[in-house]
Chain A
């Protein structure tokens, strides 16, 4: 069944070509992209099941065996990320179709929207499946180029300004990544992740540290880790709501995924623990303090996004099985919830005519559905029991306490504090936008059904994570065990390609 592995990359790319040819027929475009992403979701689900039952699924592209050719590897972590990202992209696509039909403003998706969106999906899936450092780079480039186009859709002044920052910072991180790839190849003579796992161990300590630091730097920019995070709140909020939602859900998480993959497979043993933990603490606190100061919902959510990347790094930095398992669970939770919140912010903008807190008010009375759709994921993000945000944070805190070092305890305290401040930030949004008397300037808009239902689906998915938390945590735990053992991945790559 390994022929399934390349499909999550190939299908969206074919779909992109098809939708590009159908540029003048929006209805056909919508049908093609929806069906392509639905099939991708099903394939990803099958891959998750296969990788759980049979172990990592490996395909040697073009029939070239492992160290020579490029391999695509779907182990449990990659497959889990595929499933969540596919589910999110389907929902956001429906939402953007709804938004496009609802208003004739500048936010209307143009004919390039569907092809670009599908290319973005292909880049994300390619990065998850890459078994090769250079293929990972290519995956990043695919998704970045698509994201440049989506971020500057329409070419308005504010989007050009935001896009400039985003493009230049991303290009810089790509240059750093490419330099690191050049150095890794010069030092080891291979870029295959499985082969690198053993060859990097033979290098002198200093050289290995340089390579690790450069890769961490490149991925840190993409994942928006604190000292490298200030580009994110500047660039995300100006894009159309569905674009911001899918960026917030997926793009930074691809960076986090790359950090998890390289820190476990290439540089095991937790040598970067203290750096990662300090960065995690600062990311959490600086991010959430930034969120508290904002007066615009989308910017506030962008800062919480940065802040919660800190939790993921916390789990990765601990480098224990429980820490990694909790981080994987938290990634799944955070992709879902952050995307939902941005979609809800888009709905607020649709209903209230603005996303600035001082121009909103009384939405709870005007639109009770919207109030529920915002409140549930907001409480989920803040970590109120019994939502999945609470379970993820609980796992991380347990892992931190089990570690027992001073730094880990500091992070436990920081994590709890960040959770409380998140609650404060979202409660502020609630008080200002949903309570108070309605603002006189607010329009009498209605919410299109196609925008509400995908948001409902994602809210339900976020709540449903609590129901399936047991099995999901088991998958995360197994994946974390495999990541720490390394042997399963390496054997699958060298034994599996035919």
Chain B
């Protein structure tokens, strides 16, 4: 297919909306962004090949035939996107079943280490021998879940 303005703008719009959906916190929106991006890429691949008559030998002159390769690649890409969509949906559902929402959460461990560093109890502080007590960097599970709840609050507010 020869690239024309309409298809190029369409690809651009698909990519742009896909990327902006990808930046959302909700996994379902991320998934939709992925689907849009996938469609944009498929159109882009289609533009790379030649348009023409069906590519069947004996059906017409070889010069007028369409290039079948991009279509085959798109077919493969569609199958892969389908599988990915199913898997992401399952992830979103599982996340919703476990925590009541499907938001992508921050890494708890990162925050913990940053907090340790702020209190100056990080990696250098564990040289002492008797720090198995409550003052050590061991943080308990309820504390962790507090942090993850904190991290999701601004998203809900938005």
Contact = CB atoms under 8 A, between A and B. Distances in A.
A149 B90 CA distance: 11
A167 B88 contact: yes
A212 interface: no
Given A138-B76, A164-B104, A294-B113, A185 B126 contact: no
Interface stretch (A9-17, A47-55, A336-344, A355-363): A355-363
A372 interface: no
A357 B45 CA distance: 50
Query: By DSSP majority rule, is chain A's interface helix, strand, loop, or mixed?
Result: helix
A179 interface: yes
Interface in A275-305: 292-296, 299
B52 interface: no
The prevalent SS among residues of B at the interface is: helix
B91 A293 contact: no
Contacts of B107: 161, 165, 234
B45 A185 contact: yes
Given A293-B122, A295-B113, A428-B123, A358 B136 contact: yes
Contacts of B129: 436-437
B123 A293 contact: yes
Interface in B70-121: 70, 73, 76-77, 80, 83-84, 87-88, 91, 94-95, 98-99, 104-105, 107, 109-110, 113, 116-117
Contact of B104 (A148, A165, A171, A358): A165
Contacts of A407: none
A181 interface: yes
A324 to B, nearest CB: 31
Contacts of A164: 27, 91, 95, 104-105
Interface residues of A, number: 48
A460 interface: no
A134 interface: yes
Contact of B87 (A148, A179, A186): A148
9 contacts: A161-B95, A164-B95, A167-B91, A171-B84, A171-B88, A174-B80, A295-B122, A358-B131, A439-B132
Interface of A: 134, 138, 141, 145, 148-149, 152, 155, 157, 160-161, 163-165, 167-168, 171-172, 174-175, 178-179, 181-183, 185-186, 191, 234, 237, 292-296, 299, 356-359, 361, 428, 431-432, 436-437, 439-440
Interface of B: 22, 27, 30, 34, 37-38, 41, 44-45, 47-49, 69-70, 73, 76-77, 80, 83-84, 87-88, 91, 94-95, 98-99, 104-105, 107, 109-110, 113, 116-117, 122-123, 126-127, 129, 131-132, 136-138
Given A168-B30, A182-B41, 11 more contacts: A145-B83, A157-B98, A160-B98, A163-B91, A167-B84, A178-B45, A179-B44, A191-B69, A293-B122, A358-B132, A358-B137
